[in-house]
Chain A
Amino acid sequence: MTTSKASTSSSLPDRAGEAFPALSEHEQSTIQAAMNRIIPSTDLPGAEEARTIDWLNVYLSGPSRVWARPDGSGFVTLSVRLERVWHERIQRLRRVYGAGVADLDAQARSLHGATFRDLAAPAQDDVLGVMERDEEAAKARASSERASFVVARANSNTFDERTAGFFDLLVVHTRQAFYSDPVYGGNTEKVGWSSIGFAGPESMADVVAGRYSTLPYFDEEATT
C-alpha cells in the first residue's frame, strides 16, 4: 500500500521555525483572553481551562502538525504538494492573528483606555462586539461585490478558513480548540467534551483498535 497524503521524510528544512514565528507572550495572552470571552468559564470549565491558546500555538507552528496520526502517536507528515498549500494557509493565519491582536488593542484603548487583556470581561465583550460588527459589515460589502449567488445555506459548511477574517477565526478556532481531540493541544483533560456531554474515546488509540464503543448510548429499550 502506498500513501501520497503522507511521505516518509520531511521536506521542510530546519527553517520551519523561521517561517512560523511563535506568537509573542502579549499576543498569546491577548488571544487567550479573547477566547475566554468566546467560551467563558463559570461553574463549568471554559476556554481557559481547556488551554485553547496551546491549540492555536500547535496550529500556527506550521504544516507539521495539521493532522494527528489516527492512533494519537504524533502527526502525519504531508506530501510535498499538501505541505506547500498548508504552509501558505498557515502563514496567512499567522498574519491575521497578528493584525487581529493589534486591532483588539487599538479598539480597547479607544473604547476603554487600556490594552485588551487588561480590561474586565464586560469591557472585553464590548470590544469584541465592535470587532464583530465591523467584520460583518466588511463581509456584507465584499459579498455585494462578489457573485450574488454565493448564498449561505443553513446546512452547508460555508465557513472558509482560507479567506476568513480575525473575528470569524477567533470564534471558529475557539470551538475547535475547545472540542477537538486533546492531541491538538486544546480540550485539556477533555473538559470540552465533558462540558457538552460528548462521551468521546479514552484515547485515539482506542478508536483505531476498535475498543471505543457508543453502544451504551443507543436506545435503552433496545436489547443487543
Chain B
Amino acid sequence: MTRRTEHVPLVIIGGGASGATAAKLLTEAGHQVLVLERGPWLSFDEFGGDELANVNRNYLTPDPDLHPRTFRPTDDLDAVVQEYSPTPYMVGGGTTHWAGWVPRMLESDFRQRSIHGEVDGASLVDWPISFAEFEPYYSRVEQALGVSGLGGANKFESARSAPYPNPPLPSTRYGRRFRLGCERMGWNSFPMPIAQLSQEYQGRRATVQNAFVHLHGDPTGTRSGVLSTFIPDAHRTGRLTIRTGCYVHHLVTDRTGKITSALYYDEDGLEHEQSADFFILASNAIESARLLLMSTSPTHPDGLANSSGLVGRNFTTHEYTEALGVFENEILFPWAGGGFITECSYEFYEADVSQPFIGGGLIAAGSAGIPLPINWGLPDRPRWGQAMVDYDREFYNRAMSAGVILSDLPQASNRVDLDPAVTDDWGLPVARITQAPHANDIAQANHLVDRAADILSAAGATKVWTNHIHELTGNSRHQHGTLRMGDDPATSVVDRWSRAHDVPNLMVVDGSVFPTPGGVNPTLTIMANAWRVTEQLIRTQHT
C-alpha cells in the first residue's frame, strides 16, 4: 500500500552538489524545500582516514551488488554487469569524497559547434547560453565555497569577474615538479583551484591537510563540500527538510503533463507518494536520466520529458588517464595533501589546428593512482614477493602522475538507458551504459598523455610511462549530457533555464544538462549552473 505524505510546494530529488545549491538558494529566498535523498546523511564523525573501507570496500560508494549497472561499448553487444562511475549516494553526493578540484571551463567550451562545425559521428552543439552570461555564477560559487586559487595565473583563463576568495594552498613537492616541468617546456601552469581553505574563511578554519582525501570523506568539515557549506546554510533558515533513505523510482504525471508526485521506496522497501507543485531533479546524469526513463505511463511510453527521444543520450564522461613518472633522486611524498594539491596546465586545453583532432583538456599533477599504500602502483611493479615489496619501498615516495582529462565528443549512440534484464536490489531496472570512444577521443587523449609525459621528463623523471586509452570506462566518475540543454525541443530535453521542455514543473540542476562536457572536472560548472537556473526560478515562479 502506498503511503501518502503531506503535500509540499517543492521537492528536490538528490542531496548532492547541485541539489544542495538549489536548496540553499530556495530556502534563503524564503521557500520551504523538501530534499528526497536516496542515501543517508552521515555526520562528520562518520568520515575518516581508512583506505581499506573507502577505496576497497565501498564505504562511501554504492554497493555493487545492491546497485549494479551494466555496460557495453556498442548496441550490437550484450551489456555486462560492471561497476561504472560510482559516486556516493548520500547527502553531499560527489562532494563527499572529492579532492575538490574546481577549474573553470573556457569561453570556447560554450561554442564548440560554432568553432568546429559538424563533426562526423558526433552530436556537437553550442550551449544555449554564452560564457558571459554564465561567468558571474562561477564567481558566486567560488566565493561561497571559499575556493583557494590564483586568478590570472592560468594564461588561458577566460575573463573572470572576481578574484578567488582565498590564495592558493601551500605547494606540494609533486606540484612543484610539475610546475618545473612546464617551465622547462615553456608551458604555462598555475595552482589548481581547489574547494579547500588556505586560511580561515567565514568561520571555518583552514583545511586540515591529511593523506585521506580522494575517495574519503572529511571529518573536520574544513574541506568545502556541500556538507560543510550549502547544506548547513540551507538548514540554518529553518526551511529545509531532508528525508533520507528515499529511493525515488517514478514521477507521476496528470493529464496535462505536470508531475503531481514522486513515488519512493523507504529503507524498509515500503512505497510512499510525495506530492508537490514543483520538482527539481538533482541525481547526476546517469540516475536523473534513469528516473525519467522509469517514469513511463500511457501518455509517456518512452519516459518523461522525452519527446525529443534524447533522454539518456549524448552521455559524456570524460576519462582520466595519465603519464606516470618515477624520480629516482627525489622524494615526492605524493600522499601529502591526499595527492591532489597540485599544479595544472591548460596549455593543451583548446583545439590546436595543427593537430588532427579537436578539443583538449587539462593536465595536472597527481599521485600514481591512489596515493595510499594498499592501492598505489606503477605498471612494472612485480606482482608479489621480495621484488614487489622492494619496489614499494623504493618507489612509493618517488612516483607521481601527470593526469589528463579527456573532453569526449557527445555522440547520440553513447547513452544511458534501462537494462532489459538486470535489476537492482529493489527490483528496478538498472542503468545500462552504452559508450564507445569517438576517434577524436582517442587521438585527443593520447596526445594529452604524450604532452603529460613531456612534462614529467622535463621535470627530471628517470622513467616515464604513458597510459594511452583504447576505450572509455567511466573512471573519472564525471557524468554529463543525458538531458542536454537547448532552445529547440526537438533537439534538447531542457531549455536554457534547465526547465524540461515537455514538463512545466520540472527543472534539472545536475550535469545531465551539459550539451558538451568541456575538459575540466564538472562540479564547479554544475553548481554554477544550478545557482544560475535556481535564481531564475525564484525570480519567475511563485511557489
Select B171's contact among A192, A199, A212, A222, beta carbons within 8 Å: A222
What's the Cα separation between A82 and B245 when bound, in Å? 14
Contacts of A150 in B (CB 8 A): 80, 82
Choose, from B121-129, B307-315, B329-337, B407-415, the stretch at the interface. Answer: B329-337
Within the complex, the shortest CB–CB distance from B143 to chain A, in Å, comes to 23
Number of contacts between A and B (CB, 8 Å)? 213
Q: Is the interface of B mostly helix, strand, loop or mixed?
A: loop
The 0/1 profile, CB within 8 Å of A marked 1, for residues 27-67 of chain B is 00000000000011111111111111100110100011110
Determine if B375 is an interface residue (Cβ-Cβ < 8 Å): yes
Say whether, besides A155-B321, A155-B475, A175-B374, A218 and B337 are in contact (CB < 8 Å): yes
When C-beta atoms are compared, the residue in chain A nearest to B466 turns out to be: A154
What's the Cα separation between A207 and B208 when bound, in Å? 9
Say whether, besides A2-B245, A181-B50, A217-B333, A40 and B171 are in contact (CB < 8 Å): no
Within the complex, the shortest CB–CB distance from B270 to chain A, in Å, comes to 13
Determine if B183 is an interface residue (Cβ-Cβ < 8 Å): no
Q: Are B372 and A198 in contact (CB under 8 A)?
A: yes
Q: Are B45 and A71 in contact (CB under 8 A)?
A: yes
Q: Are A38 and B384 in contact (CB under 8 A)?
A: yes
Number of interface residues of B (CB under 8 A): 78
Within the complex, the shortest CB–CB distance from B171 to chain A, in Å, comes to 4
Q: Are B66 and A214 in contact (CB under 8 A)?
A: no
Select A222's contact among B40, B170, B244, beta carbons within 8 Å: B170
What's the Cα separation between A217 and B208 when bound, in Å? 13
For chain A, residues 164 to 214, give those with C-beta under 8 angstroms from any C-beta of chain B: 171, 174-176, 179-181, 184, 192-193, 195-201, 204, 207-210, 212-214
When C-beta atoms are compared, the residue in chain A nearest to B475 turns out to be: A156
Choose, from A23-31, A62-70, A106-114, the stretch at the interface. Answer: A62-70
What's the Cα separation between A46 and B170 when bound, in Å? 35
Contacts of A9 in B (CB 8 A): none
Say whether, besides A171-B383, A210-B208, A217 and B336 are in contact (CB < 8 Å): yes
Q: Are B210 and A213 in contact (CB under 8 A)?
A: yes
Select A176's contact among B66, B374, B385, beta carbons within 8 Å: B374
Contacts of B488 in A (CB 8 A): none
For chain A, residues 20 to 52, give those with C-beta under 8 angstroms from any C-beta of chain B: 37-40, 42, 44, 46
Contacts of A220 in B (CB 8 A): 173
Contacts of A175 in B (CB 8 A): 374
Say whether, besides A38-B384, A221-B176, A154 and B333 are in contact (CB < 8 Å): no
Determine if B392 is an interface residue (Cβ-Cβ < 8 Å): yes
Contacts of A157 in B (CB 8 A): 375
What 11 additional pairs, Cβ within 8 angstroms, besides A132-B383, A149-B471? A2-B244, A44-B393, A82-B63, A125-B385, A154-B379, A155-B321, A171-B383, A213-B210, A214-B335, A217-B173, A220-B173
